[in-house]
Chain A
Amino acid sequence: MTDEILKTTPLNAAHRALGARMVGFGGYDMPVQYEGVLAEHRWTREHAGLFDVSHMGQCRITGEDATAQFERFVPGDYAVLKAGRQKYSLLLNAEGGIMDDLMAGRPDHDGLYVVVNAGNKDADFAFLKANLAGDAKLTVLSDRALIAIQGPEAAEVMAAHEPVLAEFGFMDCARLVLFGVDCFVSRSGYTGEDGYEISVPNADAERIWNTLLKDARVKPIGLGARDSLRLEAGLPLHGHDIDPSTSPVEGALTFALSKSRKERADFNGADRILKELADGPSRVRVGLSVKEGAPAREGAEIADMDGTVIGNVTSGGPSPTLGRNIAMGYVPPEFAELGTDLKVIVRGKPAAAEVVAMPFVAQRYYRKPKA
């Protein structure tokens, strides 16, 4: 525990009214749980969970040069991204390390709308402001809160408020009037479930939050379940599973490297990243099923069957959906093949583990049927 003064989101009073247990996260006073992590996790997988993610950073990057300038620091092809679509990407340093992971989209025709991680947002925005050239301009949307609704019933809940949202496919986004106010909406999230992230004006956040909670299918979900949900979905958490020392290849995020960008090799760290793609990285992020004993958490060593330490767990814990312990961590590529038997060492005790495919729990994103 530190004595730092925590910032609050516009929903802080609402969390306290709901009896949330609050913790410091990313510099903010945030709800870690309401009724309990396991119950909230299961509710999200079965119904619809409501998350306050207003601590995350939201910005616009606008101007004629916005896309070209943004692309210098991310390996995604944003020049061809159509209005109404968003894309996951990585903010890369000069060494090809991952400064942050982010979502960037075109909700309208006014440049990009970008969402970054809470703990990195000040650094990200400062970096981009210092480095975006030409007429590209970054505007931080500190006047906006961000609410996520996730789960198999999320689409029905939102369609009752705005029918057009049901027609969105995964990663579609828009700027539209919702709950009577100007919102940015995308069909995406961080749980592996179908759902939406909704950027709303700070002044309207509590009203919208409470409106959504009136629906019996919706319950508030804290950061505890958000973490176990994203772990099951195989999604990395920046600062833990990926960081400025890890490359997209090591992080098993090569899907974020657009073909055209690899061909042009014109993004930060392209030399290292293309070399790793050709020759293989020295380590790679894998999923582990821990078959016995205690949960293997961040920092636990991973050993081969001879007991030689070959890597570390970067996040792990119990999977409420699977009823067993899962983890992700880094190992040399020769140990990364699915089915490889390994050991994880928890409090000095080796426990059997196996390399398994991620996501651990199938993602259920809504993909529109092909016309």
Chain B
Amino acid sequence: MHFSKDHEWVRFDGDVATVGISRHAADALGDVVFVETPDAGKTVSKGDSFAVVESVKAASDVYAPVSGEVIEGNAVLASAPETVNADPEGEGWFAKIKVSDTSTDGLMDRAAYDAFLATL
């Protein structure tokens, strides 16, 4: 699993990247009450806002950590947005994206991400 500086994570399985938000991001948001995930077929570019996550207080954009075509948004989050708090780096994934480039340039592994969090 790799992480962006915007606190998204990505996990590659062949050319499919599963993406979501980190435990740190989920904890910082607090109680998640609504998630808008992208529809299958949507093309996203690295750094684009591709989803929205809302806590009681505010709406926040989620930025794509990779470029590609969305093959699935996590439908569970529509009815159970609290899954993002319960298991942000597992069942609370946001989307699966078919990518042409599986490089992790510009992303951090967990040790580097933890070190990055320590600087915040």
Residues of A within 8 A of B (CB): 21, 32-33, 36-39, 41, 224, 227-228, 294-295, 297, 317-318, 320, 347
Contact present for B52 and A317 (CB under 8 Å): no
User: Are B52 and A294 neighbours in the complex by a CB distance under 8 Å?
Assistant: yes
Contact: B34 with A318, CB < 8 Å?
yes
B57 A317 Cβ-Cβ under 8 A:
yes
B30 close to A294 (CB less than 8 A): no
Q: How far is the CB of B94 from chain A (nearest CB, A)?
A: 15
Q: A295-B33, A318-B33 are in contact. Are A37 and B57 (CB under 8 A)?
A: yes
Verify A224–B52 contact, CB threshold 8 A. Answer: no
Residue of A nearest to B82 (CB): A38
CB nearest neighbor in B for A320: B56
B residues 45-83 touching A (CB-CB < 8 Å): 52, 54-59
Q: Are B30 and A295 in contact (CB under 8 A)?
A: no
Out of A33, A227, A347, name the residue touching B30 (CB < 8 Å).
A33
Is B54 touching A224 in the complex (CB atoms < 8 A)? no
Distance in angstroms from B58 CB to nearest chain A CB is 8
How many angstroms between the C-alpha atoms of A320 and B59 in the bound complex? 16
A-B contact pairs, 27 of them (CB 8 A): A32-B57, A36-B30, A36-B31, A37-B30, A37-B31, A37-B55, A37-B56, A37-B57, A38-B31, A39-B31, A41-B56, A224-B56, A224-B57, A227-B57, A294-B36, A294-B52, A294-B54, A294-B59, A295-B33, A295-B54, A317-B33, A317-B57, A318-B34, A318-B56, A320-B56, A347-B36, A347-B52
CB-based closest 4 A-B pairs: A37-B56, A38-B31, A318-B33, A294-B34
CB proximity of A262 to chain B, nearest CB, Å: 38
Residues of B within 8 Å of A36, CB to CB, are: 30-31
Q: How far is the CB of B49 from chain A (nearest CB, A)?
A: 10
How far is A191 from B56 in the complex, measured between Cα atoms in Å? 16
Count chain B residues whose beta carbon lies closer than 8 angstroms to a beta carbon of A. 12
Do B59 and A295 have beta carbons less than 8 Å apart?
yes
- In the assembled complex, the Cα of A227 lies from the Cα of B36 at a distance in Å of 23
- The smallest beta-carbon distance between B29 and chain A, in angstroms, is 10
Q: Is the interface of A mostly helix, strand, loop or mixed?
A: mixed
In angstroms, Cα B54 to Cα A347, docked, is 13
A225 to chain B, nearest CB (A): 8
Residues of B within 8 A of A297 (CB): 58-59
Cβ-closest chain B residue relative to A41: B56
A221 → chain B, closest Cβ, in Å? 13
Asked if A224 and B30 make an inter-chain contact with CB atoms under 8 angstroms apart, the answer reads yes
Q: Which of B34, B54, B56 contacts A38 (CB 8 A)?
A: B56
User: B54 to nearest A CB, angstroms?
Assistant: 6
Instruction: For B30, list chain A residues within 8 Å (CB).
Output: 21, 33, 36-37, 224
Contact A295 B34 (CB under 8 A): yes
Those of B5-29 within 8 Å (CB) of chain A = none
Closest-by-CB residue of B relative to A21 is B30
Residues of A within 8 A of B59 (CB): 294-295, 297
A317–B56 CB distance below 8 A: yes
A37: chain B residues within 8 A (beta carbon) = 30-31, 55-57
Cα distance A21–B55 in the bound complex, in angstroms: 15
Bound: A347/B34 CA distance, A: 14
Separation of A318 and B57 alpha carbons in the complex (Å): 9
How far apart sit A320 and B57, CA to CA, in the bound complex (Å)?
12
Interface contacts beyond A294-B52, A294-B54, A295-B33: sample of 8 additional A-B pairs, CB < 8 Å, sorted by A: A37-B30, A37-B55, A224-B56, A227-B57, A297-B58, A297-B59, A318-B34, A318-B56
- Complex-state Cα separation, A32 to B28, whole angstroms: 12
The residues of A that contact B57 with a CB separation of less than 8 Å are 32, 37, 224, 227, 317
- Bound together, the chains give a CA A297 to CA B52 distance in angstroms of 14
Q: Are B52 and A228 closer than 8 Å at their CB atoms?
A: no
Q: Which residues of B contact A228 (CB under 8 A)?
A: 56
When C-beta atoms are compared, the residue in chain B nearest to A223 turns out to be: B57
* A320 contacts across to B, CB distance below 8 A: 56
A295 to B60, CA, bound (A): 12
Chain B residue nearest to A224 in the complex (CB): B57
- Chain A contacts of B54 at CB under 8 A? 294-295
> Closest approach, in angstroms, between the C-beta of B53 and any C-beta of chain A?
10
Residue of A nearest to B59 (CB): A297
Bound: A330/B68 CA distance, A: 42
Interface centre among A32, A294, A297, A320 (most CB of B within 10 A): A294
